[in-house]
Every structure is written in C-alpha cells, then in structure tokens.
Amino acid sequence: MSAQVIGTPGEVPSWSAREEGSRMEKRHRRATSHVSADDRRMGRRQGISFLLGFLLFLGCFGVYFASQTDYVQKSWLYPYPYRETVEHYARTYGVDSSLAAGVIHAESRFKSDAQSHRGAVGLMQLMPDTAEWIAGQVDNDYHCSLAKLQEPDTNIRYGIWYLASLQREFDGNDILALAAYNAGRGNVQEWMTQYGWQQDFNSVESIPYAETREYVTRVLKYQKKYKTLYAPHSEGFLSASVRP
C-alpha cells in the first residue's frame, strides 16, 4: 500500500483542489451578487419613497396655498349666501353683519333646512319657543309656524334681532351675548353672579361649558374671516334701536 504524498509549498494544486477553489469562488460571487441586488432594490425603494414624499409635500403645499386664495375661501370655506338679507337686518338692528354671518356659519353653515337634534331650526338655529317669543316682540304675533321659521328671511330677521337684544342686555359684550345665544341668557346671568363677571368680561376660557367656549371661539374666528373677505360691504353698518 503506497503512502499518500502530501503536496509541498510551491507545488501545483491537484485538479480536485482547483475544482474546490472554483466552487468556492462561484459561491462567493453569487453571494456578492445577491447582496448587490438587495442593495439595488433597497436603493430603488428609498428613491421611490423619497419621490412620493416629495410629491405629497408639493400636493399639501399646493392645497394649502390654494385654500388661502379669496376665491377658494369665498366659494368653499366661507361662502356668503343670503348676504343682502343678513346685511339688511344687521343694519336694521345695529349688529355687525360679519358677526351675524359668523353666527350663521357656526350654527348651520348657511343651510336653510338645518335642524338640530334638540329641535333648533333654520339658518340661525332658533328654537320654536324662542322664535314665538321673538315674533311677539317684533311682529306682535305670538305664533310662528315651523314653515315660517324655516324661511330664510324670517329666520335671519328673528335671529339677528335676538342677537341684538342679547348684545343690549349684556352692554355690547359680544362674548357674553354669544355665550347667551348658545347656552341661554339665564345660564350667562347665573355665571356672572357666581363668578363675579362684569360687563367687560373677555375671558372665553373661563366659560364653564366646553361646548359654549368652543362656540364663542368659532364665531369670533368666523367674524374675522367674513370681515376680511367681505369687508367692503360689512363695514360701516348703521346702528338702530331694538324694541324691548
């Protein structure tokens, strides 16, 4: 039995050694190619994600920019239907028409058929019993049918008259008048007594009802928007006395 001869340094590798080396090299190339392919796929995904993010940013910026234009704001965000009617009764009863528009926007978004789950009706969301009381004060008629209350002219007239009466009751304090429009004059009078509020009250955050705080904040915001967007016609309203 012959002894196996082990190769010495410098000796040419046998065929089997060369084959094994070739296989190892191929496996290394395949592994390297897989890593490179994964890197390329990851790079493509990152590139697509960056592009989509950039396009989303441009889209959001474009929407924001478009929403700031007067055309978009007047057409979609702060429309002003029944404007002549609002301005007419605002002049008649001495109310800032921008404030009246803000109330309507907050109450119904100018939808004449709006009706709340509590029973408030129309553009200015008047309760039927309140509307009947107003009808008695304005028209000497203590009956106001639901159909009549849903008429835009009647609803706006009664609502603005009521807002004017609240402003007068609270010495022209819009915050107190708006709080009373939302929560009722009795609640506001009670808060004034309980918390020592004066006629110069201006702390919306102190209003106990969250709904009323948010309501007053919204209306004052809308008032500013309507005054800015429709300033030529909403400024310079005429004061007029309101019958008790």
Catalytic residue numbers?
A: 107
User: Cα dist. 100→43, 72, 184 in Å?
Assistant: 57, 21, 17
Q: Which residues of 207-229 are buried (b: 16+ CB within 10 A; e: fewer)?
A: beeeebbebbbbbbebbebbbeb
Helix (H, G, I), strand (E, B) or coil at 26: helix
Question: Please, are residues 226 and 78 in contact by the beta-carbon 8 Å criterion?
Answer: yes
Residues 121 and 50: their CA atoms lie apart, in Å, by 51
- Per the structure block, which two tokens stand in for 160? 């603005």
